[in-house]
């Protein structure tokens, strides 16, 4: 993907933070990525983890995978002024599936195909998180139950994936999107892609992903219906592509 000057600047911030952390100078770093930046897909975490892995290998630092995950989370959080996600850096490091709460634990789930829809409108994680925090501070009795419902959905989703109950999983995705919209993090563009995916795209479920305010949705196709989803999202003025979950994390290539 050819990066714009703004996207290149975003990537440079994260690489520079990694280089600064280890006092590295006079080195050339190049990023090649198919992940849209500032889109809620963990691109910044992937950049930080990849940069750490490359420096670790090049200079023989001997960092373990656990240490890379921990350092990546701390660095990303610092660049984002305290708003980094441990989930993103953990998944970029370890790959597969991880349950992230007070600890990061692997969970055994089957691969799934998901169709991503990109609004081509970047989001600002910091401003979206601050907006939600402001609403929560004013109306804790309203917002806290929404957070609890979102947590309950995540817990139930694990079992549904394990049991292959995709229709029920899609229903929970739809509920989740509604809850996220209720706290103000969805947008017209995101909603248009969500409803296009559920309608003409025949998705079992669709929801925004990431902090909201722009970026991407994820949608769950019924078996053999990915093509409908791709067409529906494109017709709703989004960019669409398929991904498979549970893939490999950090690896070194020659």
Catalytic residues: 88
Q: How far apart are CA 116 and CA 140, in angstroms?
A: 32
Phi-psi group of 184: left, alpha or beta (phi > 0 → left; psi -120 to 50 → alpha; rest → beta): left
**Cα–Cα nearest to 166, from 109, 107, 112, 231:** 112
Structure token pair of residue 19: 């280089």
Q: Print burial letters for 186-215: b (CB count within 10 Å at least 16), e (below 16).
A: bbebbbbbbbbbbeebbbbbbbbbbbbbbb
Structure token pair of residue 187: 């947008």
Q: Which helix (H) or strand (E) segment is 174 a member of?
A: helix 166-182
Residue whose token pair is 């998705």: 203
**Cα–Cα nearest to 144, from 88, 104, 100, 182:** 182
**Cα–Cα nearest to 49, from 249, 236, 230:** 249
Q: How far apart are CA 185 and CA 168, in angstroms?
A: 24
Q: How far apart are CA 89 and CA 66, in angstroms?
A: 11
Residue 102 DSSP symbol: S
Phi, then psi, of 225 in degrees rounded to 5: -110, 15
């Amino acid at each position: 993907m050819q990066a714009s000057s703004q996207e290149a600047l975003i990537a440079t911030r994260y690489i520079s933070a990694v280089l600064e952390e280890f006092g590295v100078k006079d080195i050339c770093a190049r990023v090649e990525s198919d992940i849209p930046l500032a889109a809620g897909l963990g691109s910044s975490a992937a950049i930080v983890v990849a940069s750490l892995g490359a420096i670790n290998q090049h200079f023989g630092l001997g960092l373990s995978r656990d240490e890379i995950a921990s350092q990546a989370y701390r660095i990303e959080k610092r660049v984002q002024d305290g708003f980094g996600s441990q989930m993103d850096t953990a998944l970029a490091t370890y790959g597969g599936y991880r349950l992230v709460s007070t600890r990061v634990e692997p969970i055994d789930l089957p691969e799934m195909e998901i169709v991503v829809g990109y609004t081509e409108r970047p989001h600002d994680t910091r401003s979206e998180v601050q907006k939600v925090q402001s609403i929560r501070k004013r109306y804790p009795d309203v917002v806290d139950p929404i957070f609890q419902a979102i947590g309950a959905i995540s817990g139930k989703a694990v079992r549904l994936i394990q049991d292959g109950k995709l229709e029920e999983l899609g229903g929970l995705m739809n509920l989740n999107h509604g809850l996220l919209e209720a706290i103000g993090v969805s947008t017209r563009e995101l909603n248009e892609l969500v409803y296009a995916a559920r309608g003409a795209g025949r998705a079992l479920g669709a929801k925004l992903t990431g902090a909201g305010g722009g970026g991407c949705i994820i949608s769950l196709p019924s078996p053999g219906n990915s093509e409908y989803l791709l067409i529906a999202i494109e017709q709703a003025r989004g960019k669409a592509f398929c991904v498979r979950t549970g893939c490999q994390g950090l690896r070194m290539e020659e």
